[in-house]
Each structure stands twice: as C-alpha cells, then as structure tokens.
Amino acid sequence: MLDNSVHPAPSITASIQKTEKAAELNRENGNSSVELTKPVQSSSSVINGSQSKVNPTETNSRLKILNRTAEAINDSPDCSCLRQEDDLDLQDLGCMNIKSLLKLFRSKKFKNWKLERLFQLYFFKLNQNNLSIMMALMLVICTIQLIYHFVCGSSGAAKAVFISVFIVILIVHQILCNHSAFSQRLMTIVCWSTCIVACAMVLTMTLDVVPRSASTGVSDTVFLIFILYVLLPVRMRQAVLFGIILASTHMISSVAVNYIDEFSWKQLLSNFFIFICVNVIGIFTHYPTEMGERRAFLETRRYIVARLITQRENQQQERLLLSVLPRHVAMEMKADIAGLPKDSMFHKIYIQRHENVSILFADICGFTALSSQCTAQELVRMLNELFARFDKLAAENNCLRIKILGDCYYCVCGLPEPRADHAHCCVEMGLDMIEAIALVRSVTGVDVLNMRVGIHSGRVHCGVLGLRKWQFDVWSDDVTLANSMEAGGIPGRVHVTEEVVRWLGNDYQVEPGNGEERNHYLRLRCIKTYLIKEDQTRVKERKYTSPIRTPRRDGKKIGEDPTQAIREKLGIGDKQEIKEPDDEVNEYLGQAINGRSIEYLRSQHVRPILLTFRNPEMEAKYAVVRDDMFKSHLVCAIIMLPLICAVQLVIIPSSNVVLVVFPVFWLTIIIFCVFCSFESNLCLPENMKLLSYRMMSNRIFTQAISMTTIVMVFVASLFCMFALNTTDLKNCLARIYNISESEVTNAVLSNSGIKYGDETNNCTGSTSATSHFPEYVLFSVVSAMLSNAVFIKASNLLKLTILIAMSIVFLVLSMVTHVSLYDNRDFLLYTYLGYSETTFSLKWISMATILLFSATLFIHAQQVESTSRLDFIWKQQAHEEKEEMASLRTYNMKLVANILPLHVAEHFLKSQNKKDEDLYYQDCDNVCVMFATIANFFEFYMEYYNEGVECLRLLNEIIADFDEVTDRILGQERFLCIEKIKTTGATYMAASGLTEKTNFADNRHVIAATEYALAIREQLQYVNSHCFNNFQMRIGISVGPVVAGVIGARKPQYDIWGNTVNVASRMDSTGELGAIQVTQEVHNVLSKNGYIFECRGNIKVKGKGDMLTYLLKGRNVESPEA
C-alpha cells in the first residue's frame, strides 16, 4: 500500500530576519520616492547579495495569501468596484437601459478602505496638475469678466471688487497646487473652495451685468460646469452636485433679474436644456475617465500582485537552490541556463579546485537499531532534527555541508573561502557531533547509538556532475582517504590523519588511532592515524539548554514539544511579525505612486506636442488598445442631439429643415450605437457579432465613427442659421425711412412695428423668420464642441483638427456671412434696454467664447491623452516586471527541478502551513531501487595529470549521458515513473514508483527501472567504444517498501531509506562486473514479463546473511519489451 500523504510537522528551519533597509530608510526620512521600475527587493538579490536574506516561513505565508489573492482577485472585496464597473456594461448603455444609466451616479468607491485610500493617492497624483490648470482657466474667465466690466462702462464698483477677490483666491489656490507640501486633505479643501468661488462668479456675472439678459453668463456657466467635471478631482456624485448647483444658481439669478421680460420664458427654458446638455456631457466625460483610472489602477495592482507572487516564488526557489549549491556555482549555472546554448563537444563541467582544506566524514553507528524503534514519520523527523543540528553546528564551525548519504554526514572546511584554521574547525565539528548524538542516545535509550568521525586534510575538487538532480560534491584521493578514516574509526571518537595533526599543532592532545588495523584502504597506503583524546579542554566551549526530544515509537514523549528544544537551540521562533501580503502589495503600489513622476515619464517616453510615444513599438501597442467606453460616447451624442434640438425649437423660429436634419442625424448615431452593440448580442449570428467585434477593435474605424458623430452634432446645431433671414436691420430701416443708419432709434423701431423678442415681423416684410437670440446658436455650437471631450480615446491631433475646423466654420458664419444676426441682436437688445449705443458686440463675445472653449478643449485633450498614455506606460512597466519575474521563475524552476523531484519541490513551494516546510516524507510500498556503479572508475582516476580534472570531466560526460538516456526514455509515457535520486562518486542511484501516480499494481514501474538499467549499461559500452576505455558497470536492483523524505533544515536534501535501499546497494556492491544482480522479489516480477535470468545462488550480504540472487541476462525476443 502506497501512502503518499504529506504529513505536517513543526518546521525547524533557521529563521532569518528579512531586512529591507532602503524601505526603512525611506520611512524614517519621510521619503517614499520609489520608481515602479525599481523593485522593493530584486529577487536576484537573494543570490547576489548576502544581506538580503529571506525568512522561508515568512515567504511561504506571504506566497500562500498572495496566490489566493491572485486566484480570487475578481471576487475579492477589494475589487468590488471593479465588479460594479463590469456590471455597468457598455452594451447596456448602448441599449439605453435606465438601470444602467442610474449606475452612472453610483459611488465608485472601493469597499476596502485601504484600497480606496491608495486609489485616492493615485488619483491625487494623477489630477494635481489638472487642478492647477483649472485654476488658470478660472483666472482667465475672471480676467475677461473684469475687462468686460470696464469696457462696458459699468459704474458699479462692487462687481470689480468681487472679481478681484476671486482672482486673489484663485491665485492662492494656484500657489497651493504647485507647492511641494500640497496634500490630499488640502486638495479637498481647495476643491470645495473652488466650487464656492465658481458659484459666486455665476452670481456676479448674472446679477450685475450690462446689458442684462437671461442669456448673459450662460456660456461662462457652461464653461465652469464643464471644467468642474473634467478638471476638478472629485468623485461623480460631487461633480454632479456641483454642476446642478451652478446651473440652478444661474437659473434662479436669471429669473430674479429678467422676470419682467415677456419673452424670458423662452430663454430660461432654453437655458435649462443647455445646462442639462452640458451636465450630460460632463457626466459622460467624468464617468469614463474615473472608470478608466480605476481600471488602470486595479490592472496595475494585479500585475504587482502577480509580480510579488512570482518574486516570492523566486525567493523560495533560490533559497532551495542555495541550500544545495554554493552561491558561485548556482550563479554560474543560472547564467548558463539563461544564456544561449553553446555548441561544444563536451558538457560543461562545474568544478573548482581547492587546496588546504579539511574533510570530515561522520556516520551514525546503531542507526539500524534506532530505525527499528521508530515509525517512518518519527525516523524522518529525528533525522531532520539531528541533521538540522549538524547543519547549525557546521555553520558555527565554518564548515560547508557537502552531502547526506543515508545516515552518513560529510562536510568540508576551507571552501569556498580558504581558512588557516580549517583543521581546528573540523575537529570542533566532530566533537560537537559526538556531543549531539549523545543527547539523542540519552533520550532514545538506544545504547549503541553513536558517531564515528574521520577527518583528513588535503585538497579537493568540488562542484556538480551530470545534467539532472545536481548535488554539490567533492572528489579527490584525499576525500577517499577521509571516507576511509571514518570507516576505520571508533564510535564516539574523532579519528584524524597525521596531516590533520600537523595542521592542529599542539592545540589538541592525540593518541595513536591504529586505523590501519580496522580498514583495508588505510593498511594498503600505510596511513598513520590518531584519535583526539577525550576529556581535554576544548578550544571553545558550548552550552546546550536541553537535548533533542524525539518521540518514541510507543507514543511516549520526553518534554511537551518534541521539537521545541532543538528549535530553541537553533534560534528559531515564531515571534517575528509577518506583514500581510495584501498590505505589502498596497505598500509597494503606494511607493510606486509616490515615486511616479509624470513630467519625467512624459519627457522620457512621449513627444511634447504630438503626444506619441518615442518608441515605435510602444506606439504600435498603444494603437491597438480597445476603447471599452466607446458605446457610452455614442449614447452621450444620442442624448445631446434632442436637447440641442429642443433649445433651437424653443428659442429659434422653427424650420422644416431643422425638423428633418435632427432626426436623420439622431437615427444615424443610433444605428452606429446599435451596430457597435452587436458583438455582445447573443441572439445575432456569429458572423455579424464577429464583424462588430472587429470593427470595434479597429482604432481607425472607431475614430472615424467618433469624428463623424461630432461633425453631425456640430452641423445639426449650426444648420438652423441657414434658414434665418439675415437682413441687416439698421440698413433696411435706414433705406425705408431714407435716413442714415446712425439715426435709426427706438422710435423708428416702434413705428416699424419691430420689437425685441418678436421675431414674426421684420423690415423686409418677408415671410422668412429671423432670430433675435443668435447667442443660442453659439451655445448649441459650444455644446457640439464639448462633445469632442466625450470621446476621450480619440486621437489628440484628430480632436485638434476638428476643433479648428469647427471654430473656423462658426467664425466665418458669425463674423462674415451671418454677422447681421449678431448686429441686429445687439441693436435690438440695447435699444430695448434704453441704451444709446452698443458697448460690446455679441460677435466679438462669440469669437472670444469659441476661442476659449477651443483652447480649453485642446488642453483637456492633451491632459486626457497624456494621462492615458502614462497609465499605459505604467501598466506596461508593471507587466514587463511581471514577465521578467516569470522568466526568472522559469530559470529558477529549472534549477530547482534538478535539485528535488518535481512533486517534492511543489510541496516546498506551495506549502500552506509554515511548519510543513522542513518535514516531508512518504511511506512507499513496492518501490524499485537501482544502484549502478562504474566499478573500475577510480582505478582510472589519477591526479597526476591536471590533478584529476580530466578524469572528472570524463565522469561528468558519463553521468550526463546517463541523464540524457533518462530524458530520451522519459519521453515515453511508461518511463515517467523513474526518478533519479543522486550520484555519489561513480555510483548512480535511481528509483521508480515513488508516487501514487507512478506506482503501478501491474509492476510496470519495475519493468521501466529494469529497462533503464539495460539502457545505461549499453550507454557505457558506447562510451567505452569512443574513449578507448574498458569501464565496467555493476548494477543492483531491489524492490520493496522505502521511506522517501527531505531532511536538513538549512540544506533540504531528498533521499530514500529502508531495507530495500540497503539491499539494492548490496546487490550492486556484491554484484559481478558487467552484470545486473537482482533479488528474488525482482526476479519474480520480471520473469513473468519475458526477462531471462541466471540464478547466482546464495551470497553473503552484510547485515542480511545469505541471500538468493539472480543475474539478468536479457529479454525474451518475443517479449513486448524486446
């Protein structure tokens, strides 16, 4: 039965306090200026920098929550506003759904107050410049009003005083907006203050004006309402409130001043429609702008969440990588994976030579007796904690752990950085290990449990071999000698060579070790050995607070927490405050917002006037960005046209032409809108929906529709002028009464029956109507021009072209062809009010109004385009950083997958409990284990030529060939069950059936391992034929239960243990050269599947006695495998 469950256990990995000094320094100095393109902590710093270490438990906790955030980002409360935005689908607006229109006035506030506060910071930084522009435009209005006041010859000083006060307030606002200390709170105060000033300006322009009229101040009020919507950084409800207040203020004051005029109702009703129209324009401009900003904000935040998730994964991957490989080796491998493949005959070898190092081998004596008293979980936990202690001791003694081989632990001192006291460090390490195992012996009751330690000093070659499952290792004759020193040692004693004693000097007392009596290798080479004397003064003393506490098999525990003692000794605790990942994302985004320099980004990426990207590739990407609010722009035009039509029907004499033009244009725009909505209509054919989608995604098409719509609204608002009688009234009356134009007075008008407001009578007696209120044509044209602002995604240059064309057409009409309409209005109004002469002509006011609105709309278009492009840059930068992190993650994952099996690596990277990370084990039944040793390689290995490097290069090629055989056969589904475990010297270890998915009831995984053994044996023969050597391979295979797990707190290492592993190793060591030796159990499985064996008989196996074994001879020709 295979138990693949991953069992939780307390983590005893060393807790490393993560420091972000740059961020701390910024907080202390009050400076949060961090560019988005400059990450808070580069993931590569985990490898490159020794100070930027990551707490693994902290990283794991963050990664867990960040992943949940990324997976549920559309459903999270933080993004509730985004759901509202998605609910307000533009196809609903296109269908004139009343409920959807009401959503325009809903609060666009995030439910998560932290996210909303962060967006307000983003909104503040984005719109600070807009507020400054608004102050400048209001100053222009006040200046024009002040000039108009004095030009008209008004004697009252109150209006001039009020306007002067407004100018002073606006100047103060302007100074505040551009001050470095300008804050969000101050911006709110300035916004409300600006609205109060705007209301006061409307009152001043309406109540105290010469000449008085209900149309006076309409254009100024329209202007103020518009800039409140598009430039004032307030939310929708506030903008609508301010717009209604300004319109109501003008309406009430106009009624108060002009109620005596019998025709004032027409003007007031027309004013009402004009104000509705401009508020609709403001709403449909403000709403898409805010929605776009919120969506850009959330999209950028998504990229940052994904980036931080990937960064955490990178940190975990690199931590795993650095736990197995030294930094210099990991960096070199990472660079090779990231770079282009190099064409070479040989695989690259990652080996370095180090002189004057000490090598320590330590083996746990009595491990078999200990394992018999523990369950698999207890055994792995005990090994995990014991080797965690050894890793801690290795760090304290400046040793580098190389490998864990079952119950054997070996390390080296003096690499990668050389040390003069390397022998002292290894001796201290050995003595500490003996003390540590004594603590385990005292609590487990296993009297035979002890450590056998052997040390030798010399030189080594260190690095990794092969292409898969890299493990840092050392090779040399001195390493072999150190291993023999351990094998020939005495339990509980440190066994050293004469070379070690020479490096120790007189710091330690020694006695003869007589190792040659216990080890054949030492005897052959006449190695003189010594034992470090017991009960002598240590070079350094250490005190331990309590022993390792390991649960017994019977369930009894010594102490309350079986891992608390070892965690205390390693300095591990749960006292660190872990920052919530959501807060971390917001903090990172806040730093990016504070560091976002709009002027810098504009100067670096965007051309000054054209506002196109300097980078053509970036411009091409921006050109294909879809305008998701396009249908709402058309809806706005659909609403505007009837309002403009209503204005002209009320105030301007009706015309059949007007009644024809407006419906035609209105229906045309509706057709545009309906066609754009086809893409989301489920009832339509697919080809029609596809056509609509393609058209909507085509920027040229949408911009053509936008400009066509604007032109139609403009033509409709202007077309009524062509149906009016344009006779010059003064000239006509002068000709009738045979007087000069200067003599035409109110009396002449009365005698002729012509009266201001009565448009049915004219001088010529013609039936064609004229208009005494041509200013409302101006207001209609201004409304049409404002529709330009609604299409916020339209090209800036295209908008400018349309504005210039509209301005020229209107100015030609008002100043040349239809100028008499404006002259007649001035003459009639001033005469009606009793003034002798006109002080300021309406045509000049119209020209100034058109030019002011054109300039304002161009400035607004520049701001919208600039903001849109800067948001695009910001999102692109965040996306590129995310992609860079993803690429780095790919490189890291390739390395991690070569350190741990993929399913084990995924456990470490996705563990949801911070205490799961250090203990991973599996109880696996029916696992096939294979050991393959190049038995005569070390007869070939010599250090005389290039100190053995070339021999190791050949070994690397052989192991790489074995790994490539793995890749070749693993391409077949039936071989996916094989997992390389490790290589040790010239021994290659692999297993099959280690997971539930790869352990088959029909023993296919056993067959796959056997086929793999045959394949690598054939590969070695191929190597022999090309390098003119005669390497011989022994292979041993066994099948049965194993315990698979990861041990080591600082350096997690995957391995398998159990009787099956030991037997497979013995099948290798006792086998024949060139043969594959298997156990009875393997024979029983394979013989049924067409494999041919030769019974070898009973052989002596260490620790097992006599065992019946078989030699695999090959496959039956008729077998499926053959």
Cα distance between residue 789 and residue 225, in whole Å? 13
CA atoms within 13 A on the CB side of 321: 27
Strand-pairing partners, residue 927, are 1040
Query: Is there a contact between 796 and 788 (Cβ–Cβ < 8 Å)?
Result: no
Cα distance between residue 409 and residue 387, in whole Å? 8
Whether 407 sits among the annotated catalytic residues: the reply is yes
| H helix runs in 461-559, sequence order | 477-487, 498-504, 520-524
- Asked if residue 416 has a cis previous peptide bond (ω within 30° of 0), the answer is yes
| 214-237 as b/e: b if 16+ CB within 10 A | bbbbbbbbbbbbbbbbbbbbbebe
Query: Is there a contact between 354 and 536 (Cβ–Cβ < 8 Å)?
Result: no
Catalytic: which of 364, 572, 638, 978? 364
Cα angle at 730 between 724 and 731, to 5 degrees?
A: 90
Cα-based distances in Å from 136 to 175, 188, 234: 11, 18, 18
- C-alpha closest to that of 579 among 40, 12, 967, 990: 40
Cα distance between residue 678 and residue 900, in whole Å? 53
Query: Is there a contact between 797 and 847 (Cβ–Cβ < 8 Å)?
Result: no
Amino acid at 282: G
- C-alpha closest to that of 860 among 789, 784, 783: 789
Query: Is there a contact between 500 and 455 (Cβ–Cβ < 8 Å)?
Result: yes
Strand-pairing partners, residue 364, are 451
- For 260, phi and psi rounded to 5 degrees? -75, -20
Cα distance between residue 534 and residue 967, in whole Å? 52
Catalytic: which of 261, 363, 627, 871? 363
Cα distance between residue 552 and residue 703, in whole Å? 78
Q: How many residues in the chain?
A: 1122
* CB proximity list for 381: less than 8 A, separation 6 or greater: 9, 550, 551, 562, 563, 919
Cα distance between residue 283 and residue 292, in whole Å? 14
Whether 281 sits among the annotated catalytic residues: the reply is no
Cα distance between residue 1088 and residue 619, in whole Å? 68
- Asked if residue 326 has a cis previous peptide bond (ω within 30° of 0), the answer is no
- For 354, phi and psi rounded to 5 degrees? -135, 130
Amino acid at 730: K
CA 1121 from chain centre, in angstroms, equals: 49
Strand-pairing partners, residue 982, are 989
Amino acid at 482: A
CA atoms within 13 A on the CB side of 503: 23
Task: Identify each DSSP E strand in 290-428 by its residue range.
Answer: 350-365, 399-405, 408-413
Whether 961 sits among the annotated catalytic residues: the reply is no
Q: Which residue has tokens 């796959």? A: 1008
109's tokens: 């506030």
Q: Which of helix, strand or coil describes residue 921?
A: strand
835's tokens: 């003034």
Strand-pairing partners, residue 352, are 462
* CB proximity list for 942: less than 8 A, separation 6 or greater: 948, 951
669's tokens: 């725009």
Cα distance between residue 256 and residue 254, in whole Å? 5
Q: Which of helix, strand or coil describes residue 876?
A: helix
Cα distance between residue 848 and residue 660, in whole Å? 31
Catalytic: which of 78, 208, 220, 407? 407
Cα distance between residue 17 and residue 974, in whole Å? 46
Q: Report the catalytic residues.
A: 363-364, 407
